[in-house]
């Protein structure tokens, strides 16, 4: 009996995060890492020490020219995602690109189109969609346990790491936008945001954003790398129950509260009417505990090998980028509510030549495109 061929992976970017991708793709039975690239030789030397059989190079194009490599992980700074991902797709590689997909939404659309044209998988590393607590919360919401979700409130803070390429919104709130979209199975139509540049002149260390979803549900996000406490929380308030996710709490990561405001059974006049506070059981659902990054790698591997979509694609990535863009425009307008443009394809004035796009001064441009059938060619011969 012939053994199943493994997905052969290359990793571009071996800084803080890239080596974690190497580790998880090495750990899986159905994948292996052949080579990695980084501009920094010291970082490559560290990878070589840890994974002696993985080839290293400072020229990422060597990975693209290698026909033995099926798929590439792009784990470089956000500003480089568009060009590197496009190059990988043009070379016929499947791509798992770190979050956010890229800086601006028109580039996200180009990447989506390119992946489609090349019939290659383009998955975005929205890793929290592989977090056991978030998956359970989505199951509870989808099963109607919370009733109708009224609002979400997410906090993602820590002291560092401070980035010099993107602000706290792009770096941190990206995760929470992808989580909220996933939980609500929807995407925001408008955003209001404020941020402050404290440690650097033009890069916001802290941002507060409010997202409005089409059915009126609100999501509030607090993202900061200038905060004394590491917090990764999300509260979901529903019409019948409430839930609280705390990724930093290893015991009670997700709590489901049977709490809310109930109407009194009878009242004679409006003056007598008073909501009754319901404060019943707190339930701690069992959660499957596996490393989200490993699950993400497994999903990507399966998506490529088996040809069925298994995670966030370019359209999901584009929705997040489009929301970030609108939030940036709101920040520049002192928190004004900015619409998330539903169709950038018919608003060409918003698509600028790449050179004219400032790194952090982005304009809002979105599209609510139909979910594409992202089923790719299963490229691996058995």
Among 39, 162, 197, 226, binds ligand NAD (CB under 6 A): 39
Q: Which of 325, 376, 39 is nearest to 190 (CA)?
A: 325
Q: Which of 257, 335, 318, 332 is nearest to 106 (CA)?
A: 318
In terms of CB distance, is 127 or 376 closer to ligand NAD? Answer: 127
Residues in the chain: 382
In terms of CB distance, is 69 or 189 closer to ligand NAD? Answer: 69
Among 9, 14, 115, 340, binds ligand NAD (CB under 6 A): 14
In terms of CB distance, is 247 or 341 closer to ligand NAD? Answer: 247
Kindly indicate which of the ranges 8-16, 25-33, 256-264, 281-289 contains the residues binding ligand NAD, using the contact rule CB under 6 A.
Answer: 8-16
CB of 380 within 8 A of CB of 70?
Answer: yes
Kindly indicate which of the ranges 9-17, 64-72, 105-113, 302-310 contains the residues binding ligand NAD, using the contact rule CB under 6 A.
Answer: 9-17
Minimum distance between the CB of residue 104 and ligand NAD, rounded to whole angstroms?
15
- Site membership for ligand NAD, residue 80 (CB under 6 A): yes
- Site membership for ligand NAD, residue 18 (CB under 6 A): yes
95-134 positions binding ligand NAD, by CB under 6 A: 98-99, 125, 127
Angle CA 29–313–137, to nearest 5: 80
350-355 CB contacts, 8 Å cutoff, 24+ apart: 350/106, 351/106, 352/106, 354/82, 354/107
Minimum distance between the CB of residue 99 and ligand NAD, rounded to whole angstroms?
6
Among 5, 16, 229, 289, binds ligand NAD (CB under 6 A): 16
Peptide bond into 100 cis (omega under 30): yes
Among 37, 88, 134, 221, binds ligand NAD (CB under 6 A): 37
Kindly indicate which of the ranges 13-21, 112-120, 250-258, 281-289 contains the residues binding ligand NAD, using the contact rule CB under 6 A.
Answer: 13-21
- Site membership for ligand NAD, residue 15 (CB under 6 A): yes
CB of 245 within 8 A of CB of 134?
Answer: yes
- Site membership for ligand NAD, residue 364 (CB under 6 A): no
Handedness of CA 125, 127, 130, 135 (dihedral sign): negative
Minimum distance between the CB of residue 252 and ligand NAD, rounded to whole angstroms?
22
- Site membership for ligand NAD, residue 76 (CB under 6 A): yes
Site string for ligand NAD, 145-184 (x = CB under 6 A): --------------------------x-------------
How many Å apart are CA 18 and CA 68, to the nearest integer? 20
Among 7, 9, 11, 12, binds ligand NAD (CB under 6 A): 12
In terms of CB distance, is 38 or 247 closer to ligand NAD? Answer: 38
Minimum distance between the CB of residue 13 and ligand NAD, rounded to whole angstroms?
3
Residue whose CB is nearest to ligand NAD in the complex, by number: 15
Cα 365 to its chain centre, rounded Å, is 18
In terms of CB distance, is 169 or 379 closer to ligand NAD? Answer: 169
Among 46, 77, 86, 162, binds ligand NAD (CB under 6 A): 77
How many Å apart are CA 332 and CA 51, to the nearest integer? 45
The b-or-e profile of 229-245 (16+ CB within 10 A means b, else e) is eebbbbbbbbeebbbbb
Torsion of CA 199, 82, 63, 55, to 10 degrees: 20
Minimum distance between the CB of residue 121 and ligand NAD, rounded to whole angstroms?
18
Start-to-end Cα distance in the chain: 11
Tell me the chain's radius of gyration from C-alpha atoms. 22
Residue carrying the six token digits 């955003």: 191
In terms of CB distance, is 8 or 126 closer to ligand NAD? Answer: 126
**Residue 354 DSSP code:** G
Handedness of CA 374, 377, 380, 382 (dihedral sign): positive
Contact positions toward ligand NAD, by CB under 6 A? 12-18, 37-40, 43, 60, 75-78, 80, 98-99, 125, 127, 171
């Amino acid at each position: 009996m012939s053994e199943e061929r493994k997905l052969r992976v290359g990793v571009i970017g071996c800084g803080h995060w890239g080596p974690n991708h190497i580790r998880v793709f090495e750990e899986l039975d159905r994948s292996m890492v052949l080579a990695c690239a980084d501009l920094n030789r010291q970082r490559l030397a560290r990878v070589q020490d840890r994974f002696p059989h993985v080839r290293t190079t400072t020229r990422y194009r060597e990975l693209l020219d290698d026909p033995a490599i099926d798929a590439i992980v792009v784990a470089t700074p956000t500003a480089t995602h568009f060009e590197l991902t496009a190059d990988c797709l043009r070379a016929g590689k499947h791509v798992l690109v770190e979050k956010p997909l890229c800086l601006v939404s028109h580039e996200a659309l180009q990447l989506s189109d390119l992946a489609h044209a090349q019939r290659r998988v383009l998955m975005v590393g929205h890793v929290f969609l592989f977090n056991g607590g978030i998956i359970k919360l989505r199951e509870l919401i989808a099963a109607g346990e919370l009733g109708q979700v009224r609002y979400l409130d997410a906090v993602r803070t820590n002291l560092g790491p401070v980035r010099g390429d993107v602000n706290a919104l792009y770096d941190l709130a990206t995760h929470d936008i992808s989580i909220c979209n996933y939980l609500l199975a929807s995407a925001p139509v408008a955003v209001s945001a404020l941020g402050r540049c404290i440690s650097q002149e033009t890069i916001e260390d802290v941002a507060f954003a409010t997202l409005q979803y089409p059915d009126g549900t609100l999501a509030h996000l607090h993202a900061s790398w200038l905060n004394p406490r590491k917090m990764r929380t999300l509260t979901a308030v529903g019409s019948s129950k409430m839930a609280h996710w705390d990724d930093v709490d290893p015991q009670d990561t997700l709590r489901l509260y049977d709490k809310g405001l109930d109407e009194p059974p009878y009242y004679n006049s409006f003056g007598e009417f008073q909501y009754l506070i319901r404060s019943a059981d707190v339930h701690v659902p069992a959660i499957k505990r596996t490393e989200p990054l490993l699950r993400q790698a497994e999903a990507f591997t399966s998506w490529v090998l088996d040809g069925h979509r298994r995670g966030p694609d370019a359209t999901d990535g584009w929705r997040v980028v489009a929301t970030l863009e609108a939030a940036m425009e709101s920040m520049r307008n002192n928190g004004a509510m900015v619409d998330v443009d539903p169709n950038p394809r018919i608003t060409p004035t918003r698509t600028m030549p790449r050179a004219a796009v400032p790194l952090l001064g982005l304009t809002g441009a979105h599209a609510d495109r139909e979910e594409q059938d992202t089923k790719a060619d299963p490229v691996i011969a058995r």
